[in-house]
Chain A
Amino acid sequence: MSVEKPVVSLADLCSRYEGLLVPDERQGFEGYLISPDHLISFCRSLRDDVGYDYLSSVTGVDNFPAEQMEVVYHFYRTTGGPSFNLKLQVSRHNPVVPSLVPLYPGADFQEREAWDLLGIRFEGHPDLRRIMMWEGFEGFPLRKDWREPFFEDEAKPFKSRWPDGQVIRSEDQNPYKNNVRYPNDFDPEQWTPVGDDALYKGMLNLSQNIQSEFKTDQIVVNLGPQHPSTHGVFRMVVVLEGETVLSLKPVMGYLHRNHEKIGERNTFLQNMPFTDRLDYISSMSNNFGYALAVEKLMGIRPPERAEYIRVMMAELTRFLNHIFSIGFLLNDLGAFFTPALYAIEERELILDVFEAVSGSRMMCNYFRFGGVARDLPDGVLEKIKELVNDRLPRKLEEFERYLTKNDLVRIRCEGVGVLSPEEAIALSAAGPILRASGVPYDVRRADPYSIYDRFDFDVAYGLHGDIYDRYLVRVEEMRQSLRILKQVVRDIPEGPIMSGKPQYQARVPPGEAYGRVEGPKGELGFYVVSNGKPNPWRYHVRAPSFINLTSLATMAKNQKIADVVAILGSIDIVLGEVDR
């Protein structure tokens, strides 16, 4: 996060690697291709000399039927600016690439995910296990030649629906036990999870060499998957010495539905309501990110009024998400539901706005490529004005009076779960987590999208990187959201809300695009590859709460077991987005 000029400019570095670094010249693609042998040395220079210190996204693309697998990296500078895209092409038969975890520890879960779903082996990864699917699962589901047991067709719309549709229910076609495919010699009754024992043993070994004055036993405890404090089905395996956490590993995937495979079967437009189900607390933001990515590919921009409506909805979403997450953080601290319900009151009023505008409280499905679904109905703008100018600031102040100086909150939160700025950047933390650690990085400011460059607002950041700072950053962000909203409701122009005619089949030219927004939970990115057909060839979600979990182990180390619950609450995860 140094602000000094980089030692080497990007052009210099690229010329130093001339011949080894080839520009990606396919139409609609950008960035560079590099061979696996030079990846590590190039990335070291990229990070240390040029200042691309933030690895935002790692993912793979299966170029079936070509015998080729592609790994795509998106690097950013935490001082702001556009991305640097790097790609590796390896054989699809045995894709092996060097792991970037030693350089960018934030690649940990993302590489595991690419291994799990695409079968790309990352050499040198310290813990390359499946992350979403269970150990023993056969095949790599995101590969194009992998078919689900209830497979109907490569892409929607399915032919059976029209013109001679006879209703079929998938559960009749694939009755219970036929809807999953097991390896040949697999008996679910006899099977015991093999991965778990190894995981426990490995974790105990890791922490064995700690010297203690007293002879104590270390024990492994599973927090979850069914545990009220995990905000869903999420498991933390912790090694305890007394009450102190020696090491922690998150285990997720219990809610996995292969969102990306579904997305690749869907048409571009059909993905819009599915993005609502990622982070179901803040569906408007998810719509925003996906719409941006596809609009980049299509080369269109929404009209003025639609831009204002989009920003308005995104900021209302940020407010409701933060107030909700603070309410539930207090739940985790033991203030059972009183603060949470006060937060829900305000959230409810914002949801009323969403319902009036989009028709649904949580699954909004409101954004379209090139605009929004419908204009604000009568009276909604007045209601938003009432909320923004009167109710929400008043309630936010009351909320602060209630909690900010509360001694119990401070004792539980100050100095707990500390993440240093260097760690936060290295671990690819995003959103309030990154900013609370003292890195004032906000996509709205660092790489402005939509019309955020027009509004006056400050980027909230903390100095200590503890739970209390994350709380304060969220409170300040709500205040800044209200500040943006006040400008929006003042300036919103009249006019059309869609550019072009609404079309149920978006025509998307071939190419790739990475659209990212500053969602309430952090940087939410959508990596979309089109090959000119009605369905996306690759659809990848850079889920902020999934990647923020990479830093959970660092935050929880040497903390008390009771505080781990609070630390997890302060990361603010939604399992719909973590597991996808």
Chain B
Amino acid sequence: MNGWGIIQGLGVTLKHFLKTYLEDIRKGKGRYFTEEGVRERSASSVTGVFTVQYPEEKLILPEEFRYLPFLVYDELPDQERKIRCTSCGICAKVCPPQCIWIKRAIDPDTGRPKPTPAEFYIDVDICMNCGFCAEYCPFDAIKMDHDYEIASFDRKAEHVYSMEKLLKSASYYEEIRPKNFAREEAARLEKEAKTS
């Protein structure tokens, strides 16, 4: 008990402290507020300042990152949207907190159900972001979004997402999850080639 352990420990903290400045001087201005800077600070080789200054800087999200579900539609010519969802209800059945409500569309002429949703609601305050709906959807119609900034002033009015708010284009999906999108497109084309 001669205090040598404490001095050694203080040495470690001093090193940490100095490194923050040394690293900043060494890397220059590019270390902050640039994409490379953020990437560098989340790599496993990072020394010095480790934190990211949200909201000016944001962490780079991996492709698999999941937050809330959204519905995918394909863009047809003349601004038409083809909703991929067939209202089969698997997402509503697999959802652990049961936050998905689907109303199946009814054909007014025949009175029989149509394979498209009339209404689709997700209560995002109940959603536990597990990603089961996207994982088990057989039509690639529901996917997990990357947009995590959903704070609002009125929970009741704004946090039950209706179909209008949930629908996002397939090109948006491609943008946030390029690899998944490419894989699914390839599988789809293959299947189409087989059936035709």
Contact = CB atoms under 8 A, between A and B. Distances in A.
Contact of B92 (A157, A355, A386): A157
A162 interface: yes
A251 B179 CA distance: 50
A373 B135 contact: yes
Interface in A339-378: 342, 345, 348-349, 352, 355-360, 363, 365, 373-374, 377-378
Contacts of A406: 5-6, 8-9
A245 B125 CA distance: 44
10 contacts: A161-B102, A163-B89, A169-B160, A270-B95, A273-B132, A352-B42, A377-B63, A386-B45, A406-B8, A502-B136
A227 B26 CA distance: 43
A358 B3 CA distance: 45
A359 B94 contact: no
Contacts of B3: 407
Contact of A407 (B6, B103, B119): B6
Given A391-B44, A401-B8, A269 B94 contact: yes
Interface string A489-524: 000000000000010110000000000000000000
Contacts of A391: 44-45
Q: How large is the interface on A (under 10, 10 to 19, 20 to 34, 35 or more residues)?
A: 35 or more
Nearest to A350: B44
A530 to B, nearest CB: 18
Contact of B64 (A273, A358, A401): A358
A402 interface: yes
Contacts of A169: 123, 156, 160
A165 B66 contact: no
A161 B6 contact: no
B30 interface: no
A365 B4 contact: no
A390 B44 contact: yes
B131 interface: yes
B32 interface: no
B98 to A, nearest CB: 5
A156 interface: yes
B93 A162 contact: yes
Contacts of A270: 94-96, 132
Contacts of B179: 377-378
Interface string A153-167: 000111011111111
Contacts of A342: 16
B92 A165 contact: yes
A274 B121 contact: no
Contacts of A181: none
Interface string B1-39: 111111011001100100000000000000000000000
Contacts of A407: 1-6
A567 interface: no
Contacts of B72: none
Contacts of B96: 156, 266, 270-274
Nearest to B42: A352
A162 B98 contact: no
Nearest to B156: A169
Interface string A38-50: 0000000000000
B131 A365 contact: yes
Nearest to B96: A270
Interface in A98-136: none
B1 A360 contact: no
Interface string B35-51: 00000001011000010
A164 B95 CA distance: 16
A270 B8 CA distance: 50
Interface in A380-407: 383, 386-387, 390-391, 398, 401-407
A3 interface: no
A356 B128 CA distance: 18
Contacts of A271: 96
A401 B141 CA distance: 53
Contacts of A269: 94, 132
Contact of B103 (A165, A404, A502): A165
Contacts of A504: 90, 93-94, 132, 136
A411 interface: yes
